[in-house]
Amino acid sequence: MVRLIGIVGWIGLLNSVIGVVKADETSLKFQIDQDIDLQDDCNESLGNHEDSCNSGFLFNEDGSETEIEVTETIIEDAPRPTINLRDKEDDSIIVEDQIWYPYREHLTVKPLPKNYLLTSFDFNTESNEFIPGRPSTDFDDYSHYTVFPKAFKPILDQTSTRQLHLRFTRGFWDAESWGRLPYDGFKSGGSGVEIWAILEAASKDSAFSQWKTLVNSLSGLFCASMNFIDGAKTTFPVEAFHPMADSTLPLFDNSNKLYLIRAALANEPICTENLTPLVKLFPTKGKSGITTLLDGHKVFDSTWHSLSVDISTECYEQTDRCIHTLQALVDMVINVPKTLARNENPIPKPLPSDKLRCDLDKPYDAFHCFQLPYETEGSYGLSELFGKYIQGSSLMSEEPSQVCVEISDNWNSFIQVNGSLFATADDCFELKDFQQQDIYFESNNTNEVLDVEPVPVYVSRSLTGYGQDRGGLRTVFMNPQNEPVTLIYFETLPWFMRIYLSTMHLEKNAQSPVNISLDDILQSTYYMPAADRIRPTHLEYRITIPANTTLAVSYQFDKSLLQYAEYPPDANHGFEIESAVITVIDPTAYQLRTATLLLLLSTPDFSMPYNVIILTSTVMGLIFGTLFNLLVKKMLTVEEADKIQEGNSLQHKIQVVKGKIMTKSKFKYQEVKNDLKE
């Protein structure tokens, strides 16, 4: 909208200039000012004013040329141009558009072992400066928006949110084959939806009220089920999820405090309804730049995918003004052979015998074949994986959209523009405006990729025990490094899992040291027991895993019975338990999540209410029918019933009518006879 207003303003000013030139062609030098004239102070900063000068030339009707000097003055984010005209000969018109916005988009493509491909879409934007403590919802104030999503600013102001982190993640990340997660795991979440935020509030109750408003607003914005987040799913982390030491958050009111709140929905499905609102938040709206590749059918067909939104508030001490920074990421791992095969055969069909790749060293015939792995030599483009070409660049950022490919020496990457292939030394390509482009890959051995960076620790979690009343939870930590690893373990369990912290112990195994106990490796523990239907179990502890050691920590819990209305429609499927969060703090910074768990609880026979209703209705019908018969009907003998039945027959009624007619006729005949005698 601001860009459109700026263009309309330029057109209006140029029309005014042409009108002045026509009115006074003899004028050799004249000046037109709009609001202010800063022709002598170009490229200087005056408080909230920021000015830049450009020059061009305008042809007059008499054939002469007039130099146009344009001063673009920005006052509180609103461009206001000043145009100066001077006659000059033998020059041409120069039109320059230097309007750009704080928006950047970047795509990183990295081949992984076993013919997988990691693609990371990165979008960064900033809001306009605003005065702290003055929300955009004030009736006497307004907010100027450029590329920062307008939907976020009122929500952040209303809930006093200083940091917001939202994650939509599904799939399996193979850490042993693919190494570390993108961005060291700090930009991805556990399976389902995960959200945490830092809010400014006067008290903990006030912060929770603001938290409810925040999650309900985001639920409608991203078409998710975050409106089901309540106190039974919300925790206040103590050590995990805290900002890094180098980041500071502003406090708009010194009498308030900052509260860190988190919740997760492990059973939330991730689909196109979550991706589409995210794409619409970008200024390109999926119409240009790398956003044109984001198609829900391709993104959610990947092996692993993650959508993340991070918003933070930064303030400048010199000007006492603040801005919101937003980073949105879309990461996915694509199985390349599977995707290419699906493009050729959308409906899976058995391959003919001549296309089967059989292991010739083993017996095979027309019906039996030991298939070989996928081919290691191949070539493909992003358009084949995403089903679309890249349409132009972002058109509004100072830097054009960029695509970088991280490949080894036996790989080649090119950018295809108008049917021609081009390569660069660093395998980074700047996208061209208004051009249809594609990124092309080829390799003679797709298994040879860049060395993956090993993860500092592997963590897995599982349920133990059997029965419907109790069970156990076991967490295995494996440190493959030659130095100890210190980490923070964060776990949230629903209230119907009543854990016994006294049963927490260190299991003995062949890979663990002999003379080691839980107290030796456990540095600190925070435990908040659950309250039925009010809050979940909150467990955090800091633990150090010795070098080249595998440890297993386990404890027991009881299963509670739920009320009839608290069971979901698919109660026999089980209850999904959200992932545990592991934050490595030494010797490196890394974060990972465990897989979700499926807990089975005692479920009632949901057909019993139906059976009770049917039986009760039958008994009530019998009782009512008997009482109704006794009150309304009369007991008669068979003879009386026969007489009544005969009296009610049609023949009897005809005889009665006939008898009445004959009696009446006979009476009249007798009267006539008597009259004749007289």
pLDDT digits (tens, 9 = 90+) for 351-405: 777 777 787 778 877 677 887 777 778 889 999 999 999 999 988 888 889 999 9
pLDDT at residue 262 above 80? yes
CA distance 248 to 257: 14
Tokens of residue 224, six digits: 């998710």
Q: Are residues 483 and 583 in the same domain?
A: yes
Q: Are residues 243 and 326 in the same domain?
A: yes
Q: Are residues 30 and 167 in the same domain?
A: no
Q: Are residues 437 and 464 in the same domain?
A: no
In a domain, 633, yes or no: no
Q: Are residues 267 and 393 in the same domain?
A: yes
Say how far residue 306 (Cα) sits from the centre of its chain.
8
CA distance 550 to 548: 7
Looking at residue 374, its pLDDT comes to: 72
- Sign, CA dihedral 136-137-140-143, equals positive
Got the DSSP string for 309-329?
Answer: EEEEEEEETTTTEEEEEEEEE
In a domain, 608, yes or no: no
Q: What's the CATH code of the domain at 481?
A: 2.60.40.1530
Q: Which residues, 6+ apart, have CB-to-CB distance to 384 below 8 Å?
A: 339, 340, 343
Of the residues 40, 58, 87, the one at which a domain ends: 87
Of the residues 54, 87, 120, the one at which a domain ends: 87
Phi, psi of 193 (to 5 degrees): -115, 135
Tokens of residue 200, six digits: 């400014």
Of the residues 443, 475, 499, the one at which a domain ends: 443
CA distance 109 to 405: 5
Q: What percent of the chain has pLDDT over 70?
A: 82
Say how far residue 605 (Cα) sits from the centre of its chain.
36
Number of domains into which the chain is organized:
4
In a domain, 587, yes or no: yes
Taking phi first (over 0 means left), then psi (-120 to 50 degrees means alpha), and beta for anything else, what does residue 418 get? left
Q: Are residues 187 and 333 in the same domain?
A: yes
Looking at residue 596, its pLDDT comes to: 94
Q: DSSP 3-state assignment of 187?
A: coil
Beta strands 402-405 and 103-112, pairing class: parallel
Q: What percent of the chain has pLDDT over 90?
A: 52
C-alpha distances in Å from residue 572, one per residue of 22, 273, 568, 599: 83, 27, 9, 10
534-564 pLDDT per residue, tens? 999 999 999 999 999 999 999 999 999 898 8
Q: Are residues 212 and 343 in the same domain?
A: yes
Other Cβ atoms less than 10 A from the Cβ of 495: the count is 17
Q: Is the peptide bond before 587 cis (omega within 30 degrees of 0)?
A: yes
Q: Are residues 130 and 80 in the same domain?
A: no
Tokens of residue 282, six digits: 């970008």
CA distance 290 to 281: 14
139-148, 410-419, 467-476, 481-490, range with the lowest pLDDT = 139-148
The whole domain housing 672 covers 638-677
In a domain, 94, yes or no: no
C-alpha distances in Å from residue 328, one per residue of 122, 171, 185, 405: 6, 19, 15, 20
In a domain, 632, yes or no: no
In a domain, 180, yes or no: yes
Q: Are residues 363 and 468 in the same domain?
A: no
423-449 pLDDT per residue, tens? 999 999 999 888 899 999 999 888 889
Q: Which of the residue ranges 90-104, 123-137, 343-357, 600-614 has the most confident prediction, judged by mean pLDDT?
A: 600-614
Mean per-residue pLDDT for 310-337? 91
In the chain, the largest separation of any two C-alpha atoms, in whole Å, equals 153
CA distance 168 to 221: 14
In a domain, 625, yes or no: no
Looking at residue 559, its pLDDT comes to: 93
Q: Are residues 534 and 657 in the same domain?
A: no
Q: Which residues, 6+ apart, have CB-to-CB distance to 544 below 8 Å?
A: 484, 485, 486, 487, 521, 523
Q: DSSP 3-state assignment of 404?
A: strand
In a domain, 97, yes or no: no
Q: Are residues 213 and 256 in the same domain?
A: yes
Q: Are residues 70 and 119 in the same domain?
A: no
